Chains A and B, each alone.
Chain A
Amino acid sequence: MSEFVVELRGITKRFGTFTALDDVSVKVRPQSLHAIVGENGAGKTTLMRVLQGILKPDSGTIIVEGKEVHFLHAEDAYAMGISMVSQHYSIIPSLSCIQNLMLAAEPGAVINYTQAKQRASQLAERLGVEFDWDASAEGLGPAGSQKLEILKLLWRNSRIMILDEPTAMLSPADSTALYENLKKLAAEGATILVVTHRLPEVMTYCDEVTILRGGKWVGDRTVNETDVNELAELIVGKALADLPEHHPPKAGRANLSIQNLSVKGHRGDQAVKSVSFELNVGEVVGLAGVDGNGQKELFQAIVGVTPAMGGTIKIDASEEPTVAARVRKGLRLIPEDRHEEGVIDDWPLAENMVLGFQEFAPLADGRWINAKEQRMFADRVLARFNTKFSSPDAPIRSLSGGNQQRAVAARALEFDPKVILAFQPTRGLDIAGMRDVYMAIRDACDKGASALVVSFDLDELLQFCDRVLVMNRGQIYEPAPDMARDRAELGRLMVTT
């Protein structure tokens, strides 16, 4: 038996003329937390899909526990104890927790729920969590869903677990808890592969790390023998340019003025409770807070897709009734859920870049679309963040998640934005992409726009924003001026009061 539990040797995978993976090799030691890092489109997710049997490599071999394997379907990998939690959870809200847990891996044709729940509780205990098994999965937040997804792997007796961007939707505290649980599972015999962008997580919790760049293997490191700077360099292939500077908050004209705004939540409660704030010209303002404290409803009300219960929203000093009118006034959005709110998955990239600006000259003249202008516009938007794509006529879903996010972020910066609302704008982006997006937002604000950025990563906000507000239970708090950049104070506002 070899000293590695999983070996991928010389894996190559092409999609048409595009080589997603080029002769990539990875060796994973048993009972380790092994991180796979790289830029968007580096091939991380593709590689994991090969290991999981979803994609068949064009060449290369997969060796699991010393034996060469040929996966034809995901079921084959699953039978070898390999399974994955993807970036988007597959929890069905209308089923109960126990039903979700067993889904597609039911113990038999007739289910003995008492036994099933017993086993489920034992597994949950191993992970140090608790579930009300009969409750519907609807109420699970991102952290709860994540835990349930990991329990699903345990339920299936997975020994090799793959997690794709597991902390993308989690608060810092939940992320810490997640990794502690993963450590525990590894100690008990599991091997865990984590695809992530967050280097601090890699440094704190992982044992080994493999770096990919542009579909090629760049290096393996033992975490103890490397540091964030080296990893960052390996990932992007060059030293990072300087980060944008903070501007001191300046008083002046407000691009966005919110007064006593209240918004109903989807459960009938009041999700946003009479909040007031302003975004001054040139300001990048962060909105920190734990997920689910009203950020989503606040954004939807400002965009205009959800009616406000009360209060006023002024963009550039005027109240506008419709979404279209607000877009014309200069409101731009990098939405929370790209697939739901931002793009049309089946549509060509070029048409997606026009979405929201369909009436704007010169993309349309009066009632008719100007196809040539649309195409030139799309090319320009896509070039801004170096979105990698095969053709502007290809559906946007053929792009990797990070490249889709680049395209959506670039789109929000077009046609002289006045107010940029960005919900987790760097979700799924690598370091270079994250810097590009914030630099571009900063650049737009230097030219007279304002931005409101929601992120669940407080460090990211402190790094990039001029001012950080905190949203907690539907209300917005601003720390005292002397505490404005105090991590502990902001954290206190996020979780107390």
Chain B
Amino acid sequence: MNWRLSVLVVAVVALLGVAIMSTQVPPATVFKTLFEGSLGSASRISDSLKEITPLLIAGIAVFVALQAGLFNIGAEGQLILGALSGVLVAQRIPGAAGWVLGSLAGMVVGGLWALPAALIKVYRNGHEVISTIMLNNIALLLGSAMVNGPFKGKLSGAPTTDPLDKGSMIPALMIGNLRISLAIFVGLALAIGIAIWIRKSVRGFELRAVGANLRAAEFAGVEAKRVMIRAMVASGALAGLAGSFQSLGYEGRFYPDFSPGYGFDALGVALLAGTNPWGILPAAAVFGILNKGSSALTIEGVPKGITGILLGLLIIVFAAVRYRESKASGS
């Protein structure tokens, strides 16, 4: 291992140590709580899976855009509107068709929400980071307005839709207290499918070419504009799916604060995975487990932020390792 990397790891561990010490809870307790709070029982594992599902699917969404050279910061907004539209459709269609069409509606709305950013990027050279951040704000307020206004439920005073019928929700496999939603299986299938597609298909090759060197891709006959628009819309659709799965598979209704920032954490998931599609699942698992564990920490009097620090440090270390690797293989 390179000495700079060793120094970094030591520094990271020290920083984390200082952060934990400052809470005056023994580090062993912190890690034990984190572990038990996320994986300690069947119901806690079920809750962790609930966190992992949107992170996995939105992580794939961000990954796809990133491979085409686009930073989809808008995953959060696409996810929120996907969740809302999923519930609205599923409320109106009884039975399994409810969640199937609801999920599709989430994808359509998520994709459409990403489209303006794609068009602005491709035809007006406006940076997608700026436009997606702004679309996030609009989405958040729009979602909130909808459940305060036209779609406010009749059963509660709070800004939320009425709960869905159990029958219109995504089914789950129950093993004792362990609840595994079909949503996570779909997420897994998507992760595998995307990993194969991006490495083995001609379109995947072209998408990666556009992301790695736009100009060279154009010279190689790739229609870069079309590829970028498609990638951004696909990314939005996936983020929308992550949102609709969350409301249809877990929450059973839509309220504006259902997402603690899955769309933003998805950026971290994609960054941790880097260019390796097989890295998305483990990255999503780490994020999901730590997110779930952090709620248990709060009870111990340790601020939630500690897991944020841990995740941030993890991304830095991975970025450094990757940089070293790429330097070692170049001249």
Interface set of A (CB-CB < 8 Å, partner B):
15, 303, 305, 322-327, 333, 335, 340-347, 351, 354-356, 358-359, 364, 367-369, 371, 394-395, 397-400
A356 lies within 8 A of B219 (CB): yes
A322 lies within 8 A of B223 (CB): yes
Known: A340-B216, A358-B206. 17 other contacts (CB 8 A): A303-B219, A322-B221, A322-B223, A323-B218, A325-B221, A326-B221, A335-B219, A342-B216, A344-B213, A346-B326, A347-B212, A355-B216, A358-B202, A358-B209, A358-B220, A368-B201, A398-B331
Complex Cα spacing A395 to B328, Å: 11
B219 lies within 8 A of A358 (CB): no
**Which residues of chain B come closer than 8 Å to A340, judged between CB atoms?**
213, 215-216
B202 lies within 8 A of A355 (CB): no
Q: Which of A323, A369, A371 contacts B202 (CB 8 A)?
A: A369
**Chain B nearest CB, measured from A113 CB (Å):** 33
Complex Cα spacing A325 to B222, Å: 10
**Which residues of chain B come closer than 8 Å to A345, judged between CB atoms?**
213
Complex Cα spacing A343 to B219, Å: 10
The interface size bin for chain B is 20 to 34
Complex Cα spacing A327 to B222, Å: 11
**Which residues of chain B come closer than 8 Å to A324, judged between CB atoms?**
221-223
**Which residues of chain A come closer than 8 Å to B157, judged between CB atoms?**
none
Query: 8 Å CB contacts to A: which residues of B68-115?
Result: none
**Which residues of chain A come closer than 8 Å to B221, judged between CB atoms?**
322-327, 356, 359
A341 lies within 8 A of B202 (CB): no
**Which residues of chain A come closer than 8 Å to B213, judged between CB atoms?**
340, 343-345
Closest to B220 in A: A356
Q: Using known A-B contacts A15-B331, A394-B329, A395-B330, determine if residue A305 contacts B202 with beta carbons closer than 8 Å.
A: no
**Chain A nearest CB, measured from B123 CB (Å):** 15
Is B154 an interface residue when CB atoms closer than 8 A count as contact?
A: no
**Chain B nearest CB, measured from A363 CB (Å):** 9
Is B203 an interface residue when CB atoms closer than 8 A count as contact?
A: yes
Binding site secondary structure of chain B: helix
Closest to A365 in B: B202
**Chain A nearest CB, measured from B202 CB (Å):** 5
Is B200 an interface residue when CB atoms closer than 8 A count as contact?
A: yes
B212 lies within 8 A of A344 (CB): yes
Query: 8 Å CB contacts to A: which residues of B188-202?
Result: 199-202
**Which residues of chain A come closer than 8 Å to B212, judged between CB atoms?**
344, 346-347
**Which residues of chain B come closer than 8 Å to A394, judged between CB atoms?**
329
Q: Using known A-B contacts A355-B209, A394-B329, A398-B331, determine if residue A323 contacts B219 with beta carbons closer than 8 Å.
A: yes
**Which residues of chain B come closer than 8 Å to A343, judged between CB atoms?**
213, 216
Q: Which of B201, B220, B331 contacts A369 (CB 8 A)?
A: B201
Complex Cα spacing A351 to B199, Å: 11
**Chain B nearest CB, measured from A49 CB (Å):** 9
**Chain A nearest CB, measured from B281 CB (Å):** 23
Is B205 an interface residue when CB atoms closer than 8 A count as contact?
A: yes
Complex Cα spacing A424 to B202, Å: 30
**Chain A nearest CB, measured from B325 CB (Å):** 11
Query: 8 Å CB contacts to A: which residues of B203-257?
Result: 203, 205-206, 209, 212-213, 215-223
B220 lies within 8 A of A355 (CB): yes
Q: Using known A-B contacts A323-B218, A323-B221, A355-B220, determine if residue A364 contacts B209 with beta carbons closer than 8 Å.
A: no
Complex Cα spacing A15 to B329, Å: 9
Q: Which of B201, B219, B329 contacts A398 (CB 8 A)?
A: B329
A344 lies within 8 A of B326 (CB): no
A344 lies within 8 A of B219 (CB): no
Closest to B206 in A: A358
**Which residues of chain A come closer than 8 Å to B222, judged between CB atoms?**
323-324, 358
**Which residues of chain B come closer than 8 Å to A303, judged between CB atoms?**
219
Residue of B205, B217, B330, B331 with highest tally of chain A CB at under 10 A: B331
Q: Which 4 A-B pairs have the closest CB atoms?
A: A324-B221, A356-B220, A323-B221, A344-B213
**Chain B nearest CB, measured from A300 CB (Å):** 9
Complex Cα spacing A399 to B329, Å: 10
Complex Cα spacing A354 to B204, Å: 14
Q: Using known A-B contacts A355-B209, A397-B330, determine if residue A333 contacts B202 with beta carbons closer than 8 Å.
A: no
Residue of B200, B213, B215, B216 with highest tally of chain A CB at under 10 A: B216
Complex Cα spacing A327 to B205, Å: 17
B209 lies within 8 A of A344 (CB): yes
**Which residues of chain A come closer than 8 Å to B219, judged between CB atoms?**
303, 305, 323, 333, 335, 341-342, 356
A359 lies within 8 A of B202 (CB): yes
Complex Cα spacing A38 to B194, Å: 47
**Chain A nearest CB, measured from B65 CB (Å):** 18
Complex Cα spacing A346 to B329, Å: 10
B330 lies within 8 A of A398 (CB): yes
Q: Which of B203, B216, B223 contacts A367 (CB 8 A)?
A: B203
Closest to A347 in B: B212
Complex Cα spacing A325 to B215, Å: 17
Complex Cα spacing A335 to B217, Å: 13
13 A-B pairs whose Cβ atoms sit less than 8 Å apart in the complex: A323-B221, A325-B221, A327-B220, A327-B221, A335-B219, A341-B216, A346-B212, A355-B217, A364-B202, A369-B199, A395-B329, A395-B330, A399-B331
Closest to B221 in A: A324
Complex Cα spacing A323 to B221, Å: 5
Complex Cα spacing A335 to B32, Å: 59
**Chain A nearest CB, measured from B103 CB (Å):** 25
**Which residues of chain A come closer than 8 Å to B329, judged between CB atoms?**
394-395, 398
Complex Cα spacing A342 to B216, Å: 5
Q: Which of A322, A335, A341, A369 contacts B200 (CB 8 A)?
A: A369
Q: Using known A-B contacts A324-B223, A346-B326, determine if residue A367 contacts B215 with beta carbons closer than 8 Å.
A: no
A371 lies within 8 A of B200 (CB): yes
**Which residues of chain B come closer than 8 Å to A342, judged between CB atoms?**
216, 219
Complex Cα spacing A151 to B81, Å: 59
Closest to A354 in B: B205
B203 lies within 8 A of A305 (CB): no
Complex Cα spacing A344 to B222, Å: 13
Residue of A323, A342, A358 with highest tally of chain B CB at under 10 A: A358
**Which residues of chain B come closer than 8 Å to A367, judged between CB atoms?**
201-203
**Which residues of chain B come closer than 8 Å to A347, judged between CB atoms?**
212
Complex Cα spacing A261 to B326, Å: 44
Complex Cα spacing A400 to B330, Å: 10
Closest to B328 in A: A16
Complex Cα spacing A394 to B209, Å: 17
**Chain B nearest CB, measured from A381 CB (Å):** 14
Complex Cα spacing A342 to B217, Å: 8
Complex Cα spacing A398 to B326, Å: 10
**Chain A nearest CB, measured from B221 CB (Å):** 3
